[in-house]
Structure 1
Amino acid sequence: MWLTMRIRPVIASVAALILLCSCGGTETSTADSIDPSKLDSGNYPTAPVDVETLRTATSGELREALNIATNTPIPFEYDPRFGYGSFDGRKQFVTTETPPEFVDSGIGSRQFTKEIAGLVAGWYVLGYRRELPDLGRGIETYTLRFETPEFARLAAQKLTAGSPGSPIRIDGHPDAISKTTPLEPFHSATVRALLPHEDMLLYIQVSDSVSRPFDPVDSAAIAKRFLDAQVDRLKSYKRTPLAEIRNLPMDVDGMLSRTLPDSEPNSRTAVYPVRAAISMAKEPLAFGPAYTDAGVDYIVSRGGAFVYRARDEAAADRLSNAFDKKNKDDSGLLPADPPPNLPTAQCYSMDPNAKVTKNTPPSCRIVVGRYVARIGGANLQDTYQRTAAQYKLLVGAN
């Protein structure tokens, strides 16, 4: 599950929004019978907030990173064998506050902005052959924007200067700097490629910890398909002028202001385009079709809630049902009564007899017009109050 049981920012990762799978049936009561004034929302805010009060020094860079994410290929799109994604909740946006990590180059995230000049923003994607990453090949990609093409070119040179491996050719990309390393004890075999493209730097690493003997040819072919797909997608990337990035608006159509707030400032706070959310999922290939069918365009993760905007009310109902169908038998949840005076909510509490090691907090799911919201809390009563507050916030959003 995606919720932390201690009341600090309850959200561990936007990626987890696609991992959460509830159980239960469809709602049987309609919103027309609900009187918001009778809902107990405790001390949680129920009026939209001024999201500009949430702005941090890199909020604009995060918005630009999400623009890049919208124009970044997801591994299953260029190789359907890689149907699994992020598994550890790591951040996938790149800003000057959260720079990239190139371990083999000797330049970690803490040193990146000191060693590499001109970083603007970027996006990081993971893809795997198997649900357990160590059982098959893995893909890591970075799509990074720099201030100028020269900065991108110099970054590629510096990141490969001290990296191990022998040269390998990537068909169709003579300007790519690419290397391969063999399979060794405690180290996966790899094929890595860095390609400066205009003011962007494109990176892929295909790692293989299982193939014996290791043949780099197929991994090099995967690298080619990524570079082909990424270069093509960047044709649609509309760069925000550098001077305007810092002041990019944080909200989209009021979605952020109508989602439960975090208890403290959070560098992840943003409205996430659906492609960014899919690329952060543990099972992107499984959830992409459900989002497409429902016409989901944006998702917000804040304050223990995920809010999804679908095409219309019927599409929101289908998305809610899709979450039901994706439920795991070992989720560790049992159906629970809905909050008082909110019969349309589907709620779940922890199963004390479940043989699971993962955290499975109480949660509720509501549909309000074209919006689907999933809310969790420290306990069932807290979850009820959060759900009531989130309902009140969304009532005026349609």
Structure 2
Amino acid sequence: MFSRKTRLSVCIASIVTALSVAGCGSTVAGSSIPAELDVRKLDVGSYSTTPLDMRYTYQNDLSGGLKLAVMRLSDNVVTGMDIDPRFKYSTGSVPFVDAAKATTVLADVTKPVLERNKMMFGFASGSVDKEPDKSGKKVDGQSFTTVAVMQFPDEAIAKQAATEIEDADFAVAADKNEKIALPGYPDAHTHWRPGVATIGSVMAKGSYVISLYLSHTTPDLAALKDLAEKSYAAQVPRLDALEPLTAEEVLFLENDPDGMLRRTFNPNAMGLPDPGKQGSYTMQGFLHQVANTAHWKQTLTDVGLDRFSLSYAGSFSTSMLFRTRDADAARRLASTILDGVYPGVADAPAALPDAKCGEGKSTDDIERKRFRCVVTYREYTATVEADQLRDAHQRAAAQYALLANSQ
């Protein structure tokens, strides 16, 4: 079966982490419109309120292009809930652009196969049906899904790669594994080990290869086959709608196609693409980055979220921006973002309309800042975080001014 030696990395309990205090630039003179405050008067400290694209220019190259390709792919890879609503919790995701990283999800023996067939990039996502314990470890009676999607140079190579991945994985325990067929997907290469409650399957779809590693509570072959077919049924249509990229197209992907990153608080103007740290996603891409998939899918569907971005500024800090249906939806989203992770009462910056701040639970996690503040501007909801409340207020003010200056 596919390797389980490395568990998919677990995201934090609510959303990703916070922004650093290091800033640059100064407040850019902006203009207010009727019914809006004058952002020139806000206390933004030394933080810049200039849109990112006026401070940073992305230089297209292969490294950045592959990372953008991975983020594009993540917007089209299923979560466990897409397969079956009972898989409500994420075990994390793994973006990869080389065979070595891919084998943190696939079996080690597949590495030569991926290299020989020139795998371009891929993305894997895992889910479970019972919430992991506080340390992120599995609990008794837990079933899981792991779906990995990889792109290869063309359809013929993808088909060959799928066959070789299965052959290499099956051969690890050829005397114990048993090949099986999926009636709905005759092109899929599938096997299991009788008496073990897992199943592995791999199938080419155009220039893509889908790899599945799934489990059931008991070694029930019928249930495992059904779960595999549900996984393909959920994933295949998404790839049908996603045109594969040529090597040249990878080089010319846009870094900020919807103008989200230019509006996201990024004081150091660090704009290089980096999955999970610096990028723009659809709601699907966001859901791969949170632990409670069910909660966030419902929350974001209710507010009509269509785009999410996050930016980093060093020191394990991150800021986030959500684009919702309208201003009312943005305010509703803002009212939920502090729940759970930042439940403590903290003063909000008085000058910002509808701003909220919360204090987090004490933790040894260096990526969890003490305070989070949330601001809204029109259809946007944004978060900033800091270890000092005044710093969090200045960041919140800078983020609000940035949104006003980006219109």
Q: TM-score, normalised by structure 1?
A: 0.79
Residue 22 of structure 2 aligns with which residue?
none
1:36 to 32, 36, 39: 39
Provide Cα deviations, 1:11-60, integer angstroms capped at 9, x if missing partner: xx996595379xxxxxxxxx946332222222222101235347663332
Identity %: 23
Structure 1 residue 161 corresponds to structure 2 residue 167:
yes
Residue 3 of structure 1 aligns with which residue?
none
Structure 1 residue 267 corresponds to structure 2 residue 271:
no
Structure 1 residue 150 corresponds to structure 2 residue 151:
no
Residue 47 of structure 1 aligns with which residue?
50
Distance in 1, Cα, partners of 2:100 & 2:261: 22
Asked if 2 retains the 8 angstrom alpha-carbon contact of 1:145 and 1:201, the reply is yes
Letter in structure 1 aligned against 2:129: R
Asked if 2 retains the 8 angstrom alpha-carbon contact of 1:72 and 1:230, the reply is yes
Letter in structure 1 aligned against 2:123: W
Matches within 5 A, 1:364-375: 364-375=373-384
Distance in 1, Cα, partners of 2:86 & 2:112: 32
1:298 to 301, 307, 331: 307
Distance in 1, Cα, partners of 2:45 & 2:10: 25
Distance in 2, Cα, partners of 1:97 & 1:339: 48
Q: CA deviation at 1:207?
A: 3.0
Q: 1:370 to 1:126 in 2, by over 3 A?
A: same
Q: 1:397 to 1:195 in 2, by over 3 A?
A: same
Structure 1 residue 249 corresponds to structure 2 residue 254:
yes
Q: CA deviation at 1:175?
A: 1.8
Asked if 2 retains the 8 angstrom alpha-carbon contact of 1:194 and 1:201, the reply is yes
Matches within 5 A, 1:127-146: 127-132=127-132, 134-135=138-139, 136-146=142-152
1:339 to 341, 349, 363: 349
Q: CA deviation at 1:262?
A: 6.8
Provide Cα deviations, 1:303-349, integer angstroms capped at 9, x if missing partner: 3210001121122122223435xx23xx4642111235335320122
Distance in 1, Cα, partners of 2:40 & 2:320: 23
Distance in 2, Cα, partners of 1:225 & 1:350: 39
1:105 to 107, 111, 118: 107
Q: 1:41 to 1:112 in 2, by over 3 A?
A: farther
After TM superposition, the structure 1 stretch with the greater mean CA deviation from structure 2, 67-76 or 120-129, is 67-76
1:95 to 90, 94, 97: 97
Matches within 5 A, 1:8-23: 16=12, 18-19=14-15
Residue 279 of structure 1 aligns with which residue?
288
Residue 182 of structure 2 aligns with which residue?
170
Distance in 1, Cα, partners of 2:345 & 2:123: 38
CA RMSD of aligned residues (A): 3.0
Q: 1:342 to 1:54 in 2, by over 3 A?
A: farther
Distance in 2, Cα, partners of 1:370 & 1:332: 23
Distance in 2, Cα, partners of 1:320 & 1:149: 44
Asked if 2 retains the 8 angstrom alpha-carbon contact of 1:62 and 1:270, the reply is no
Structure 1 stretches lacking a partner, 5+ long: 1-12, 22-30
Asked if 2 retains the 8 angstrom alpha-carbon contact of 1:178 and 1:192, the reply is yes
Asked if 2 retains the 8 angstrom alpha-carbon contact of 1:83 and 1:285, the reply is yes
Matches within 5 A, 1:204-223: 204-208=212-216, 211=218, 214-223=219-228
Structure 2 stretches lacking a partner, 5+ long: 1-8, 18-33, 313-317
1:238 to 226, 239, 243: 243
Q: 1:335 to 1:122 in 2, by over 3 A?
A: same
Asked if 1 retains the 8 angstrom alpha-carbon contact of 2:346 and 2:359, the reply is yes
Structure 1 residue 383 corresponds to structure 2 residue 392:
yes
Distance in 1, Cα, partners of 2:44 & 2:10: 24
Provide Cα deviations, 1:140-194, integer angstroms capped at 9, x if missing partner: 00121111112212222332233233212222122211111356xxxx7420000
Structure 1 residue 117 corresponds to structure 2 residue 132:
no
Letter in structure 2 aligned against 1:127: S
SS in 2 for 1:151: helix
